[in-house]
Amino acid sequence: DSGVTQTPKHLITATGQRVTLRCSPRSGDLSVYWYQQSLDQGLQFLIQYYNGEERAKGNILERFSAQQFPDLHSELNLSSLELGDSALYFCASSAIQLNYGYTFGSGTRLTVV
């Protein structure tokens, strides 16, 4: 157990729908990062939050949004889902806002049908 908790582990939904993925960082970590990993692809950075504020944005679609709450958990919202959104979504956390390595959760596997 890495200490980073992601729920749900698996999610199957239809095209056009909206889903919310949840991440609880390791105790004491202030930064949360979201990554997308498509089949046999590398990790694509989506967005970073630090202590409730957006810090960096990667290749995140306009249909996707995220937020970090006062208790530091984060949610990634995916809307108007398309088949191509099927992927593993990972959350990672670190104690600081700089990218000096972080701890990943076990991911949410999203399947859009």
Partner 1 sequence: GESVGLHLPTLSVQEGDNSIINCAYSNSASDYFIWYKQESGKGPQFIIDIRSNMDKRQGQRVTVLLNKTVKHLSLQIAATQPGDSAVYFCAESTSGRDMRFGAGTRLTVKP
Q: Binding to partner 1 (CB under 8 A): which residues in 54-93?
A: 56, 90, 92
> 31-49 burial string, b = 16+ CB within 10 Å, else e?
bbbbbbeeeeeeeebbbbb
**Shortest distance (Å) from residue 86 CB to partner 1:** 16
The strand pair at 87-94 and 103-104 is best described as antiparallel
Stretch that binds partner 1, among 12-20, 21-29, 75-83, 96-104 (CB under 8 A): 96-104
Shortest approach of partner 1 to residue 49 CB, angstroms?
14
Rule CB under 8 A: which of 6-65 touch partner 1?
Answer: 33, 41-43, 45, 56
Give the amino acid at 40: D
Closest to partner 1 by CB, 28 vs 42, is: 42
Scored b (16 or more CB within 10 A) or e, 55-78 reads beeeebeeebebebeeebebbbeb
Check binding of 4 to partner 1 (CB under 8 A): yes
Give yes or no for residue 101 binding partner 1 (CB under 8 A): yes
The C-alpha atoms of residue 78 and residue 18 are separated, in whole angstroms, by 6
By CB under 8 A, name the binding residues for partner 1: 2, 4, 33, 41-43, 45, 56, 90, 92, 96-107
